[in-house]
Structure 1
Amino acid sequence: MDTIFSSASNFQKSALKIIRISGEHANIVPLIFSFKPTQPRLASLRKLLDHNNQIIDNALVIFFPGPHTATGENIIELHLHGSLVIEKKIFQTLGKQKNFRIAEPGEYTKRAFLNGIIDLTQAEGLNDLINAETENQFKISMSHFEGVLSEKISSWRTNIVFLLSKLEALIDFSDEDLPFDLERLFAENIIDLLTDMKLSIKSSSFGERLRNGFVITLIGRPNVGKSSLINFLSDRNVAIVTKEPGTTRDVLEVLLDFDGYPIILNDTAGIRSTKSEIEKIGIKNAIQKADKSDLILILSDNENFDFTEIKKSSKTILIHTKSDLGKLNKKNVHEISVKENTGIDKLIKMITKHLKSLEPKENALLTRERHVQAVKRASDALKRASLSNLNINPELVAEDLRVAATAIGSITNNIDVEEILDDIFSSFCIGK
C-alpha cells in the first residue's frame, strides 16, 4: 500500500503548516530530507534539506510508529512555517519518492477504519464533527465519534448473535434437551430488540435534521417583506429587496443557527396570479418546498393570510409584517417590523420552541439514511423470525437472525463493497 501525504491547510497561507505522512515507508522521511531520526512521539527540531542539500525549512518533526496511531500505520508529522513555497517544495520532494503519493479525500480516516482503529459510525462522526456549525451538531457528531452509536449497535448485534448461537446448538444437538426455555428466551429478546429498534427509527428523523438542518420556508404574496426578513435574520444581503413584484423566482436558501439548531431558511417566490411562465414555476417550487418543510412562516402585510395552496397546521406560524404601519391585534398572528426591529427576537424564540417540540424523548442516534435502512432490514428479519415456529423451522429462524446480524453489522464495520466505502469517505476533506 502506498505511503500517503497531505497538508492540513491545503495550500493556503497560514502561520504554520502541518504535513502528515502515513504508511509503511513513513519512517524513511528522515533519509529523504537528510535529517537525524527523532525519538518516537517526541517533538524535535530538525533542518529539512532538498536533494541539492539546500535548506527547505527548520521544522518540528514528530514520529508515531504504528500500529498505535491515528491510521494504524507509521505516521510522521512535519510542523513547518506557513509559506506556500515551503509546502510546495515538501510536496515535490515526497512526490518523487517511490510508493509515495498525495492522499485522497478521507483516506487517512479510511485507513483508520480498514486497520480497525475506528468503525464506520465513528468515521462518519468525525466528518460531521469537522463540518459541525451549531452546538447541537457538535454534540451529536462528538457522541458518534466517541462511539455512543457504536455501543448501541454492538449491543443489538451481541443479543442477536447470542440467540443465533443458542439456535445453532438446538439444530446441531437436536436429540439433547437444552437447560432453558428457548421459546420464551427468543420471544422476550426479540420483542426487546424490536422495541428498541422501533424507537431508534422513530427518532431518526430528528437526528437527520440535526445533522442536515431543519427546513423553514417563508411564504407570502409579493412585497410582504420575506426577503427583508431573511436578510435581517442572516445579517447580510442575500435576497433581493425591491418594490417590483416577482423579484424572487428561485428558492433561495440561507443557513442559520437558532439556539444550536441548524436552520435552512428558504426565501420563495411571492404567491400571486401571473402570466409569466418563469414566475409560475417559481411559485410552484415555493409551494412544493413549503409542503416538505419542518416549519412554514406565512407572511402578510394585511389581514389576508388565506393561501389555498398552503394547508395551515401546527407547523405554520402566521406573521404580520410591517407592524410599524399599524398592528392587526389578531389572535395567533405574530407582529413584526424589520424596519423597527420589533417582534424578531420573539419570532426566533417561537421557531426554536417549535423545533424543540420535535425532539424525541430518546436520544436521536441514527443520523443517516444508511443507518435507518440497515436497522429496518434487521427489524424486518427479526419480525420474520418471531413469526416462525422455532421447533418446526429452526433453520429458517437461524437464517433470519443471520440476516439481522449482517444488517446491523453493516452500520459499524461489516461492509465489503468498495463502492460503498468510497462513497462514505469521499465526502471527507483532504487531510482527514
Structure 2
Amino acid sequence: AMGMGSNNNPVDFGKPFQPFGESYTYWYLDGAKLFANGGAMAQIDVTLAPTAGAANADLRLEWEYKTGATTWQLLGQSTPTNTALADTGANFQDDTRAFTRSGQVRFRIPLGWDLQDHRSRRGRWLRVKIAAGSYATMPTVADLTLSWYWELPRVRQITVTRGAEDGAASDGASAGRSFPELSFANSTPLDLGRDFAPFGNQPAYNDAFYMACDTALAQSGATVELALTLTNPVGSSGPVSAVKLDGKPSIIWEVFAGQIWQTLLTSPATASPLSLTTNGVIVLNLPTNIARTMVNGEERYWLRARLVGGNFGVAASYTGSAKDGYTLVPATFAPPLIKSISFTVTKAGTAVDNFGGVTPSTLPVTACVTRNGGVMVDEKPVAASVDEATFLPYAPLNVSEPALYLGLDQPFAPRPFTLYVQVEPPRAE
C-alpha cells in the first residue's frame, strides 16, 4: 500500500504520520491488490497517537474511490459524532469517527475498481477528503494496516415455493396435475397403484379416508380440483357390484386448519362425487390457515373424507326366533372402489405465472439445522420466522493459524498410513 497527502509526498507507514499534514485537505491511499477484491469487505485498522486529533463540530470527511482520470465516487461519509452519514450501498462504517479515535474503517469493495493513474502513480486509489469543517489539531496515525475478508452470509428467513410439476400440460384442464403421495383407510395404507376401497370393504360410521398431497394441499387459500374416477359408480355393471346409494351415505370432506379439522364440503343425499358414488370433480377451497398434521406417523398436508351418516350396506344378520328358527340375511355391502384420483390447483394466490398457470405458494421450512465445527444447531426458530433475527449458515472455526482440512470419503483404517502431498515449487522471480 502507498499513502500520500496533497503535497504528493509518499507516507512512511513505518513511523507516525499525519494523513492531512499540517493543513492539507486530501489524503490518498493506494491498495492495488487489496482493492481488486470486488465484493469483499475492506478493513483499515487505525491506531492514533496518544495525542489524537481534535476536531471541530462541523467536520465531515468524505471517503471516495477513483473511477476515472478526474472522477471520484463516494463510498461513505463520517463525522466526529457519526460512523456513517449516508447509505451508498457500500456498508461503510468509520469507527474512528473521522480520525478522532482509534478504530476500524470498513466498506464493501466496489466491483470494477480499476487501476487509475494519480500523480503519475498507477494504483487503485482511495481518497479521504475534508469536505466540511476542520480539525483544531490534525490527527496523527501511529499505526495503519489494511486487510480484506469475505463477509459471511446471514440468513433471516427460508421459504419454499411450490408450483406445478415440471412438464405439466399448459391447458387449463391438466396444468399442475398431481397425485396423492400417501393414502390411508383409517390406519391401513392403501395401494394407489390399483383400484382400492377408501373406507375398506365394510365401511362403518366415522371411518376415514386420508389423502396426502403436499404439492396441491400446501397452498394457503388455493382452489383445488379433485378428479375422481370410480370402478363401480352408481348404475355401472362392471366386475364388482355398483356402489350402494340406498343407504344414503353422508361424507364430509375436511382439512387440518391449525388446531382442528375444518369441514370444506358435505355430500348431498343424491348421487355425487362428494359421496363417492359417481365420477366427477370435487372443488375444494382451501382455508388460509391450512397446516400440516400427523396421521399414522406421517406429518403432511392431509385431505380427509369421513363417513358421518348412512351406509354403503350393512353386515350380515339373522331374523326369526328360537321357536320358528333363524334365517340368515346376507351382508349388503357395496362400498366404493376408486380407480384413479388426482389433484389440480386451479387458483392459488392472486396472479398467474409460468408454473403451468398456477401461482406458487410460499411455505416456511419445517426443519433447519447448521453444523459447524462438529456442533449441530437447530435454526428453525429463526429460519421459519418473519422477524429481523438472523443466523450464520457457515460459522468460522476458532483457529488462529492457517490450516488445511482434508475430507475423506472412507473411514481411517486402524493402521499407519502415508499422505503424499506434491507441492508446486515457487516460480522464479
TM-score (norm 1): 0.24
More strand by share: 2
Larger radius of gyration: 2
More helix by share: 1
